[in-house]
Each structure stands twice: as C-alpha cells, then as structure tokens.
Amino acid sequence: MSEETALDTERDLTTRINEYLANLDIESVGVHAFLYGVAILFMAPYVYMFTASFQPRSLAMEAQPYWIPPEITFEHYQWLLENSLIVDWTINTFAIAGVATVLILIADSMIAYSLSRLDWPGRGILLSIIVASFMVPYYLNIVPLFTIVSDLNLVSSPWGVILPAVANPLGVFMLYQFFKDIPEEYEEAARLDGFSNFQIYSRIILPLSKPIMTALALFMFVYNWNAFLWPLIVLQSNQAYTLPIGLVSLQNAQIYRPGRTLASAVIAALPLLIVFLILQRYLVRAVELQGVTE
Amino acid sequence: MSIRNRLGSITKSSDSGRAQSIGPISRETIAGISWTIPYLAAFSVFLLWPLFLGLWMSFHNWDPLFPSESEWIGLQNYVELMSDPALWSSLWNTFYFVVLTVPTIVVLSLFLALGVYREVRGKRLLRTIFFSPYVLTIAVVAFVWMELLGTNFGPLNYYLGFIGLMPEWLTSTGLAMPSLAVTTVWWLLGFNFIILLASRQGVPERLYEAARLDGASSWRAFKDITLPQMRNAILFVVIIQFIYQFQVFGQPYIMTQGGPANSTRTIVYYLYQVAFNQHSYGYAAAIGYVLFAVLVGVSLVNYYVIGGDSNE
C-alpha cells in the first residue's frame, strides 16, 4: 500500500478510480458494509442519549427526533445536581464497587495461592466445591440471604452489598489458573533464602500477576458498579442508593421527561465509559480469560 | 474452554500434587488452610449458609417478623407451586425471552467476530463499539431504549411513521418481550463477541492454507475448519448465555414492570414480587429451588445435545 501511495501523486484521478474499482473485492465491501452498518446501529443509542439529554422539553415533545438539537439546555443536569442525590449515589457506587473489588482481590488471591502453591490434603475437593458454586444461580439465594443480612443489621448499609460480593468463584478460578503456571523454581529459590509464605505471596506471586490482577480488578469493579437486583433489595433508603437504583427511583411514570431521564443516564454511564476507553485492553483480557481454551 | 475441560484440568492438577506429608497435620496444611479463611468465611456466611437456609425456609410458612414462629408445612409450598398459573406463565415468558435472545446473541456475535477478524479497516474502533454497551448498567440501557422505542415520541416510530406504522413496542403484549430482547442483544452482545473473537484468533492459519491448496471453497473452510475449531468457545458462550438470560430481571422490572398483562413477567421477577412485595418468603424460596432444578435439567440437556460428542 505505502509504495503505491508514493506513485499515486503522478497518476491522474480517473486511472486511479478505475484501478480502485477493478481491485474492488465485492466480498470485502460486503463485510465492511455489514460491520459498519451494525456499528452505526450500535452507536445510535449513545448519540440519542447524549443529544436528548441537552434538549429542552418542548423539543422532546415534538414527533421529529433531533439527532443534533437546534437548541441546547443544561436544565436537566442542573435539576439533577440540585434536586436529587445523584452526587451521593455516585460516591456510594464508587465506594461500594471499590471496596468490594479490593476485598475480592485479597480473598480470591489468598485462597488461589493456597490452592495452587501450597500442598495440603483436601485442596482438590475445596477447589471442586468452589467451581461448583459457579453454577448456583444468584436468585436462588436472594430470599435467605436477605434474612441473613437483616439479622446482621446490614439493610441499607453499604456492607450489606459489599460482603455478599466478596466470595467470588470467578476470581478464584482465574487466579488459580494463572498461579499454578508460575514456575516452581522462583519459589524454591526464595524458600532457600528463608522467605515465608507471606513473602512469597507478596513479593513473588503478586508482582508476577499484575496484569491478570488488573484485568480481574477492572472486571469486578464494572460488575459491582452495575449490580442491580441485590442493591435494589438491600438498599432501602434514598441516601444509601447506588446509581442504578437511584436512577430508577427518579423515574416518574406520570410525567414524561425524557431529557431528565437521559441526563441521569449520561451521568451514570460516563464514569464507566471513560474508564472503559482508557483501560479497555484489561477488560477485554478479563473477558477473554473466561472463554479461551488453553 | 469448555466447562468439562476446566474441571478436567483441575482434578488432574490437584491429584499430581507434591509428595504428601506423613505427619498427622503438617505445617503446610495449617498454612494452606489459614490462607483460605477470608474467602471461606465470606463463602460460608453469604453463599453456603443461605443455600441451606433457603431449603429450610421453603418447607415453612415463613414469618419474616418472627422467623422462629414459622409454621412447618412440609412440601405444601411445592405442591401449591405446581398448580400456580403465575409460575407457569412466567416460566413460559422466560423461555420465550431465552429463545429470542440466546440464538440472536450467539449468531450475531459470531458473525461480527469473524468479520472483525478479517482484513477490515478500523478493527479496534469496531471492537470498542461492539463491546462498549457491556459496561453500562441496566438502568442506563433500559432508559435509553425506553426512549428509542417510545410509542409517541420515540425516534424509531418517527421513521416507521413514514411507511404508516406506529407499533406500541413496550405497551403491547405481542411486542413487549421482543423489545426487551432487542435491548438485551445490544447490551450483552459484546461479552460474547470478545470471547468468540479471541477464539477465532486462536485457530491456526496453516489449516486455512492447507484447505486453500486443496481448493476448498470459503464455505467449506468455514464449515470444516472455523466452526469445529471454535466449537468449545461457541459451546461456552451458549451455556453461559442460557444461564444468564434465564435470570433476566432488570429489563422487565424497569422497562415494562412485567406488563402489559404480565406478558413480560419473568421467573426471577415473579420470585422478587412474591418475596418482596407479598412477603411470602417460604413460597419464594421454593420458587428458587424449582427454578434451580429446571436450570440444572436444561443445562444438562444443552450440554449433552450440543457438546455430547466432542471428546478431545
């Protein structure tokens, strides 16, 4: 391609177009049309969400949709910031997703270390139990779990959302797979130097696992940020809501306010979309690890 | 990786551990167990214990305020469930939703993955676009689609108006569930797309070169190389989507409140209503166990029908 571009300047336009058409691969055009067609359909909801959140109510009540609004207003955002607890909900969501992620990483990496690097009877059975717990659908537990969380006085407390999220079999499984492939020699050399288990874990295993830990952390953060059913059950006061629950509580079936609704959606979506755009490769890695055959 | 392979690799690796200790409890055993404590504490209190408590509750007419005074009623909750029309209709609605979403998600994400794998411009941009809705919370997804599909002011109906159509997407019994399905495809396709793309990248290029030398058509190459090579990833995606879509809740809860006429009341939504609107905890716990049985049964069928003969 690059050799051709140098020559292109000397050719006249018609020859170039003719050549282009002659080389045109119908199949390739079809593939591009399909992929970009779907991509445009995928982008449309984002565009609509964003532009409609800046539209005054009068425009929203017109039948014609405005993909680029002729008139812009910040009134919906202003209303949300002044009259709702959306800032508190954002802070709650950050705190819950952040603390849950840290606790998941600690608990999961510790047990994965024990299962993969320490030799003790029963670890094979324990691993099977944890993998089997993967299969337990979450709705099976919501009723008894709620009674337990109420008994512990954790209703409407962030801990009522965080603690049940800690035991995460997916994280154990991913880290177990990674830890067990770390060569034995590193560990043996360290043991000869008198390293304790904790030193091996913190100075050898964890530093070697940085990429996978980052991937897992990001996946868990997104997962806990977006959690819906469980926070809906546990968080019962306006101040305690996370963003997904708070957003739904703002819905008013009687009055049609698309601008305000979509502005709240933009506020809830933006932090994660930004994180996603910056750290996409880690999230992709975390998803790939769930499906790829070794 | 298929679930069977995963289990296989685990049992293998744990059998071939280092030399077993001779003493009754070695230091390594004590260390090994103590490293599992944080996880197992959370696991026991918030996963294992509720699993048994739920079964116990399902045999009671559970009193949420005075649990100790709950009346033991044996299998009565389960007997009642069998003749509960709401259970069967929500089970049917859930199957309908699964049938609408799972094949669409799997086929569309497979085609997109194969397309993006080819020599196309803007690979990374396309990947970002297809994957991005996956990071949104259901509340955001639901709000956007409720506006897009709005009957009077939604943009979709504006364009359909030119050909004289004005469907009631979310408020008619025929279209409400398909509308939730479309929303779900947009939201969750990306996860599957990424897994299938990674799997396609793992297929050795030499297989295609050999096929080309033999003069195989691209259809033959797809049928005899691509699909068999990606089999495990496709199977994984089908099973995961099946389990996941079966548990759909947020879409009907936010977008249709289970309506119109309960046509989008799914099984988890029904369980939620019984537990947290009607406060019939024992009955709700029983629903959970019936569903679990259904899900295990269907997963086994799924597994043996689709994956039965793939013994590599």
- DSSP state for residue B225 in the 8-state scheme: I
Do A26 and A158 belong together in one domain? no
Domain tally for chain B?
A: 1
The distance of A24 to chain B (nearest Cα, Å) reads 13
Query: How many domains does one find in chain A?
Result: 2
Residues B140 and A247: beta-carbon distance below 8 Å = yes
Best of A147, A293, A294 to disrupt the B interface by mutation (most B CBs within 10 Å)?
A293
pLDDT surpasses 70 at A5: no
Closest CA to B127 of A201, A284, A59: A284
Going by C-alpha positions, the residue among B170, B143, B138 that lies closest to residue A263 is B143
**In this complex, do B42 and A167 lie within 8 Å of one another by their Cβ atoms?**
yes
Nearest CA in chain A to B57: A144
Provide the pairing of β-strand B71-72 with B60-61: antiparallel
Q: Work out the pLDDT band at A290, boundaries 50, 70, 90.
A: confident
B244 CA: distance to closest CA in chain A (Å): 9
pLDDT of residue A4: 56
Least CB-CB distance to A128: which of B10, B17, B199?
B10
Q: A92 and A219 share a domain?
A: yes
Whether A34 and A155 map to the same domain: the answer is no
A272 and A212 in a common domain: yes
What gap in Å lies between CA A292 and CA B1, rounded to an integer?
5
Q: Which of A239, A224, A243, A235 is nearest to A149 (CA)?
A: A235
Whether residues A50 and A127 fall in one domain: no
Report the CATH number at residue B199. Answer: 1.10.3720.10
**Count of C-beta atoms within a 10 Å radius of residue B44:** 12
Q: What is the pTM of this model?
A: 0.87
In a domain, B22, yes or no: no
Q: Are residues A35 and A109 in the same domain?
A: no
Q: Which of A78, A110, A130 is the last residue of a domain?
A: A78
Given A42, A58, A78, the domain boundary residue is A78
Q: What is the mean pLDDT of residues B226-232?
A: 92
Summarised one tens digit per residue, pLDDT across range B64-81 is 878 788 888 889 999 999
Q: Are residues A46 and A178 in the same domain?
A: no
Cα gap B157→B162, rounded to integer Å: 9
What is the span of the domain harbouring residue B232? 69-307
B236–chain A nearest CA distance, Å:
7
Q: Report the complex ipTM.
A: 0.87
Looking at the structure, do residues A7 and A105 belong to the same domain, yes or no?
A: no
What are A149-168's pLDDT values in tens digits? 999 999 999 999 999 999 98
Mean pLDDT of B203-221: 87
Q: DSSP letter for B153, please.
A: T
**How do residues B164-196 score in pLDDT, each as one tens digit?**
888 999 999 999 999 999 999 999 999 999 999
Mean pLDDT of B229-244: 90
Cα-Cα-Cα-Cα torsion B199, B204, B210, B216, nearest 10 degrees, comes to 10
Residues in chain A with CB shorter than 8 Å from the CB of B171 are none
Domain CATH for A228: 1.10.3720.10
Q: How many C-beta atoms lie closer than 10 Å to residue A64's C-beta?
A: 9
Are A169 and A54 contained in the same domain?
no
A-chain CB neighbours of B158 within 8 Å are 63-65
Closest residue in B to A260 (Cα–Cα): B143
A183/A122 same-domain check: yes
Query: So what's the pLDDT on residue B306?
Result: 66
Asked if the structure places residue B50 within a domain, the reply is no
Question: Across the interface, do A148 and B46 touch by the CB < 8 Å criterion?
Answer: yes
Alpha helix (H) ranges present in chain B?
3-15, 27-43, 49-58, 76-82, 85-117, 123-131, 138-148, 155-161, 176-201, 205-213, 218-221, 227-229, 231-246, 250-251, 267-272, 281-307
Q: Is the pLDDT of residue B310 over 90?
A: no
- Using a CB-CB cut-off of 8 Å, the residues of chain B touching A145 are 46, 50
User: Residues A171, A287: one domain?
Assistant: yes
- How many CA atoms lie less than 13 Å away from B62 in the CB half-sphere? 24
Within 8 A of A176 by CB-CB distance, chain B residues are 10
Confidence of residue B21 (pLDDT cuts 50, 70, 90): very low
B291 with A162: CB under 8 angstroms?
A: no
Q: Which residue of B has its CA nearest to A63?
A: B153
pLDDT greater than 70 at residue A294: no
| Residue numbers of the domain that contains A287 | 85-291
Q: Which residues 6+ apart lie within 8 Å of A20 measured at CB?
A: none
Q: Is B247 part of a structural domain of the chain?
A: yes
Interface contacts (A, B; CB < 8 Å)? 305
In a domain, B33, yes or no: no
A89 and A34 housed in the same domain: no
